[in-house]
Chain A
Amino acid sequence: MVSKVLVANRGEIACRILRACSEAGIGSVAICAPNDQGSLFTELADEVVLLEGTTIGETYLDQEQIIAAAHSTGADAIHPGFGFLSERAEFARHVSANGLIWIGPSPEAIDQMGDKMTARQTMRAAGVPVIPGEEVEEVDEAKTLEALRGAAQRVGYPLLLKASSGGGGKGMRAVHDPADFDQAASAAQREAIAAFGDGRIYIERLLTGSKHIEIQVLADRHGRTIHLGERECSVQRRHQKVFEEAPGPTMTPELREAMGQAAVAAAQAVDYEGAGTVEFLLAASGEFFFLEMNTRIQVEHPVTELVTGVDIVREQLRIANGEPMSCGDLMIRGHAIEVRLYAEDAANNFLPAIGPLAVFRPPEGPGIRLDTGVREGDDITPNYDPMLAKLIVWAPSRVEALQKMRRALDEFVILGTTTNVEFLRDLCDAQPVIDGSTTTTTIDTLWPNGWNPPQDLTLEDASLLVAAGAETLGLHRQRERSAKEGTGGPESPFATLNRRYP
């Protein structure tokens, strides 16, 4: 029975899960590293356990401390969110062994999908198309390069070298010229060993100009495994998604059905439970290939929620509690777009930025959802991922959704820390985004020499007037004054209220 959930995460996804618990009438516990004290998510939990330690390894990745926190607070379930321990099978095992409910798939499913070579083999056996390529099982280090060379010959160029334990672009190398192969293979291996302690490499044909399409799946313990349609997440920079939408702009009902069935087959092949995402590459030819399965809630889950009306996190709680999922037949309505708000300098090679969120005024209005982990007054530090929030819009059509996103981004005021808001806004005007022809190389093609904000001399001059005028008017002193005076408003009548008790 899930009656109190410990959320083993931080930031916006912790907020999302803690709010779902609150809505479901389930108790919640947040864990918090010392440098996260006072963060938004800690205010949304019924209880907060302060972790000891300074590094991520000593805090959000410390399995013993987290399980001890669950025991000391009487939590009976752990939701891992994404990142951190969410795809660590040994943690899932550890949680179950301690008599706690793991909100996610079985450790076996995590293992089978986490090892990319095993996943490819499992999918092939289940009849799910995988990207043409070869796994190299050679264990003798002296012979691996030779074996990889042979596999590369058979797969053909251009190709992609990938670490079997990889993720996030680590241990990954694109090779266009056979002459570069040896060097790239050694580099990928070294990186894989350093990052994952596992140097096994496989080779995939490099499918340029393809779309990244993923299918959300849900599976309960009552024999039901369904898909919730697709998300397109082709727009990426450095293998990280920035712009996601549902439904896919070029999707057809037939292709959705075929990909949906393949995703369900993939989930069933590993006896999947809970929410998961099967990622595919959709080639220009219309063929689709299994890329990998993410065995957790995903960053971009809100776009699916908005077009299907399914609360995915709520379903996760339901499924973990042994109940049947509550969703009916798949019905896709309207169009949703999500952008990821990063503290980064898009004009400077997307370098992470830090600073105070001196002003943070999100857009409002119909069809706008903000999943944020921060609020005005917070400091953005280099301690964690620079993703601050996700802005998601819904509208009856794709054209209107894009119009709404432009309006929302124009309204978004963030001062004190550099963010990618203007980059995202500019992206909404890019032709491939407008006509839905985005691919995984769109950003590099649009801005081969890096992005720069479009020049607008009228606005630039006006902004100088504002800066000079604000200084003249003493706007900064007004803010300081109001901060010193507390509310800054008229004196509160409650300060002098004298309550009498009969």
Chain B
Amino acid sequence: MMQHTFASSDGPIEVTLARHGEALQLSGYSLAQHDRGRLLVTLANGTTCIAHATKVGDVWWVHLNGRTYRWERIEPGSSSAHDEGGLVAPMPGKVLEVLVREGQSVEAGTALMVLEAMKMEHRIVASTDGMVAHIHFQAGEQVAQGAVLLDLEETE
């Protein structure tokens, strides 16, 4: 299971994909990698089309059947920019608890760390299935806004 959150004018949209062999699925649609930058989409009625997708900043630009859509991805555990593969602190605060250890495999959605900031607890959550490559802070340490808390290596 892979979970992603995208911004929309009606608030965040959560998308949870299921993997079936090489294909990814979402409520009747199916998706497979076609070649670099392109994906093969099978719609619910069985018709297929080639989608182009490219990421500019946090925004995925998607071209599909003559239409272009823009989806801004909201990074888990952060409200804005993130480092490549890293999970960053959404605001300055203190690490309350580290819930994983280095080398551990996690699923998308797994809570990795608990952060206290502005008197609130924030759970830092894995964006994808992956392996915890490095943990940068231990419980009790202070972190600055935007600091990379841990590195997650995606499993392909």
Contact = CB atoms under 8 A, between A and B. Distances in A.
Interface string B106-121: 0000000000000000
A356 B55 CA distance: 11
B26 A468 contact: yes
Contacts, number: 138
A360 to B, nearest CB: 10
Contact of A463 (B27, B37, B62, B84): B62
B155 to A, nearest CB: 10
Contacts of A460: 69
B17 interface: yes
A425 B44 CA distance: 25
B56 A463 contact: no
Q: Sort chain A's interface into a size bin.
A: 35 or more
B71 interface: yes
A71 to B, nearest CB: 43
A469 B54 CA distance: 12
Which label, helix, strand, loop or mixed, suits the secondary structure of the A interface? helix
Contact of A359 (B2, B31, B52, B73): B52
A460 B41 CA distance: 12
Provide the main secondary structure of the chain B interface. strand
Given A458-B44, A461-B29, A472-B2, A466 B64 contact: yes
A139 interface: no
Contact of B26 (A415, A459, A465, A477): A465
B40 to A, nearest CB: 10
A358 B68 CA distance: 13
Contact of B65 (A359, A459, A472, A482): A459
B54 A464 contact: no
Interface in A453-496: 453, 456, 458-479, 482, 488
Nearest to B69: A463
Given A359-B37, A470-B60, A482-B36, A476 B66 contact: no
Contacts of A359: 37, 52, 54, 61, 63
A36 B61 CA distance: 26
Nearest to B26: A465
B100 interface: no
Contact of B56 (A361, A416, A456, A475): A416
B156 to A, nearest CB: 7
B128 A462 contact: no
A422 B37 contact: no
B62 A461 contact: no
Nearest to A453: B67
Contact of B2 (A355, A464, A468): A468
Contacts of A488: 36
B67 A415 contact: no
A47 interface: no
A414 interface: yes
B47 to A, nearest CB: 10
B15 A468 contact: yes
A345 to B, nearest CB: 11
Q: From A355, A458, A470, name the one whose CB has the most chain B CB atoms within 10 angstroms.
A: A470
Contact of A462 (B17, B29, B33, B154): B29
A472 B37 contact: no
A421 interface: yes
Contacts of A469: 17, 24, 26, 31, 39
Contacts of A358: 54, 56, 61
A323 interface: no
A470 B67 contact: no
Contacts of A453: 67
Contacts of B43: 458, 462
B137 interface: no
A466 to B, nearest CB: 5
Nearest to A454: B67
Contacts of B55: 470-471, 475-476, 479
A475 B31 CA distance: 13
B53 interface: yes
B62 A466 contact: yes
A355 B71 contact: no
Contact of B36 (A463, A465, A478): A478
A453 B51 CA distance: 19
A474 B156 contact: yes
Nearest to B30: A465
Contacts of B84: 477
Contact of B51 (A356, A466, A471): A466
A465 B154 contact: no
Residue among A421, A466, A478 having the largest count of chain B Cβ atoms under 10 Å: A466
13 contacts: A358-B61, A359-B37, A416-B54, A416-B61, A458-B43, A462-B43, A463-B67, A463-B71, A465-B26, A466-B64, A467-B60, A469-B26, A474-B156
Interface of B: 2, 4, 6, 13, 15, 17, 24, 26-27, 29, 31, 33, 36-37, 39, 41, 43-44, 51-56, 60-69, 71, 73, 84, 128, 154, 156
Given A469-B31, A475-B55, 20 more contacts: A358-B56, A359-B61, A361-B52, A415-B53, A422-B66, A422-B68, A458-B43, A460-B69, A461-B26, A462-B41, A463-B69, A465-B31, A466-B51, A466-B64, A468-B24, A469-B17, A471-B55, A472-B2, A473-B33, A475-B53
